[in-house]
Amino acid sequence: MHDLNLIATAVFGVEAVVSRELDWLGYTDKFVENGRVYFKGDLEAICKCNLWLRCSERILINVGQFKAETFEELFQGTKALPWEDWIGEFGAFPVDGKSIDSTLFSVSDCQAIVKKAIVERLKLKYKKDWFSEDGAKYKVEVGLLKNMVTLTIDTSGLGLHKRGYRQQAGDAPIKETLACALLYISHWKPDRVLIDPMCGSGTIPIEAAMIAMNMAPGLKRSFVCENWSQFPRELWEKVRAEAQSAIKTDAKIRIYGSDIDYYTLCLAIDHAKLAGVENVIHLQKMDFRNISSRYKYGFIITNPPYGERLGDKNDADLLYKDMGKFFKTFDTWSFYIIVSSLNFEKLFNRKADKKRKLYNGTLQCNYYQFFGPKPPKTIDKNFEAEE
């Protein structure tokens, strides 16, 4: 199957990062909307994007789009689409839905109509009146936005932030996809030192190490479309083998994480082992006020505690004040900090060079970016001049 209409979903504020990732993979025929990047690709594109995209939430097949203001229009528009190209005779096809600013506002009714229309379409293909739905899963979503219907099939299964290494999490973890977005937005490069002084269960350092090693984030997990008849086993074997061979085992990496809480740091160490990066990142129990580095021109990227997430807001405010005082000692470094506080710049005692609205789960945050000086061009790539 060639020139499939595909969608890479993303949380608000991360769409441009996902679009850039698609460029890197060679998929340039695309356009961006809120929460989604539409692009063209084939079956191999579905495999590669599930395996390689670090910031996308899911890869969807865009089965069709049309306008519907009545249930009859929704039924007929759905029935006209080629569902038999994907859903087999025994396929299970649960239907989820959402509706925003549309005449058809009852999501449950829309789901029922779409389900019925798909059944009617499949009856014509398979010449039967009842479907057991005990085979491979094809999760369908009907989305209505201002009376425009988009019908998709999910190819990922579990969300793409589920890399497979985080078996447990400390309080208020940051999703892996958002952690990668923070790294990409900062323009951190693997030849620069990176510290997360409040790393919690280790997500930011681990994701940074996987980027530095060119390790595909989906290499240690499976995807629901692997069970579909449209995907030959050989195709998945090929894509996984290419990803495995692309890993840089000799990359020179200086990534550090620390946390004051012993339990969450133990989780970080376990997660690093499961991710296969325990030998390239350095994790230790330490209060951020005690951190030092012999390196210059590094990056501090962190997701500190929020008053809304952890503990007391007053405690968070005091923490931000201490961060502002302490980070001044890293005078050549750049700082990238995601918090929900609207007073963060005042508490940090420095105006951000740039800030970006992002969502950590359902919590609206700002990603505050403080740029340090650029390193001299004479700095040796082997890091000797930075010591």
- Sign of the dihedral defined by the CA atoms of residues 9, 14, 19, 22, in that order: negative
Ramachandran sector of residue 363 (left: φ over 0; alpha: ψ -120 to 50; beta: rest): beta
| 226 located within any domain | no
Q: What is the pLDDT of residue 387?
A: 33
| 365 located within any domain | yes
Residue 296 phi/psi, 5-degree rounding, is -120, 165
Residue 21: CATH number of its domain: 3.30.2130.30
| 44 located within any domain | yes
Instruction: Compute the half-sphere exposure of residue 341: CA atoms within 13 Å on the CB side of its CA.
Output: 25
Q: Do residues 186 and 277 share a domain?
A: yes
Q: What is the pLDDT of residue 376?
A: 87
Q: Do residues 180 and 283 share a domain?
A: yes
Q: What is the pLDDT of residue 166?
A: 85
Q: Do residues 33 and 107 share a domain?
A: yes
DSSP state of 278: T
DSSP track, 222-260? --GGGGSTTS-HHHHHHHHHHHHHT--TT----EEEEES
Domain count across the chain: 2
* Amino acid making up residue 338: I
CA 387, CA 372: separation in Å to the nearest integer? 17
Q: Do residues 280 and 369 share a domain?
A: yes
Q: Do residues 209 and 100 share a domain?
A: no
Q: What is the pLDDT of residue 307?
A: 55
List the one residue out of 90, 59, 58 whose CA is nearest residue 159.
Answer: 58
Q: What is the pLDDT of residue 346?
A: 96
Residues 6+ apart with CB under 8 A from 318: none
* Amino acid making up residue 81: L
* Amino acid making up residue 203: T
Q: What is the pLDDT of residue 171?
A: 59
| 162 located within any domain | no
CA 298, CA 330: separation in Å to the nearest integer? 9
Q: Do residues 54 and 123 share a domain?
A: yes
Domain that holds residue 266: 176-213+248-386
| 229 located within any domain | no
Residue 337: CATH number of its domain: 3.40.50.150
Burial class (CB in 10 A: 0-12, 13-18, 19+), 6: buried
| 240 located within any domain | no
Q: Do residues 134 and 259 share a domain?
A: no
Q: Is 294 helix (H, G, I), strand (E, B) or coil?
A: coil
What is the 3-class SS of 44-80, one letter each residue? HHHHHHHHHCCCCCEEEEEEEEEECCCHHHHHHHHHC
* Amino acid making up residue 90: F
List the beta bridge partners of residue 96: 141
Q: Do residues 342 and 209 share a domain?
A: yes
| 165 located within any domain | no
Q: Do residues 96 and 184 share a domain?
A: no
CB atoms within 10 A of CB 107: 16
Q: Do residues 124 and 253 share a domain?
A: no
Residues in the chain predicted with pLDDT less than 50, given as ranges, are 308-310, 380-387
**Long-range contact pairs involving 43-47 (C-beta distance under 8 Å, separation at least 24):** 43/1, 43/4, 43/230, 43/231, 43/235, 44/235, 44/239, 45/4, 45/6, 46/4, 46/6, 46/155, 46/225, 46/231, 47/231, 47/235, 47/236, 47/239
List the one residue out of 56, 51, 17 whose CA is nearest residue 214.
Answer: 51
Question: The whole model's pTM is what?
Answer: 0.93
Q: Do residues 74 and 205 share a domain?
A: no
Q: Do residues 316 and 195 share a domain?
A: yes
Give the end-to-end CA distance of the chain in Å, rounded to a whole number.
53
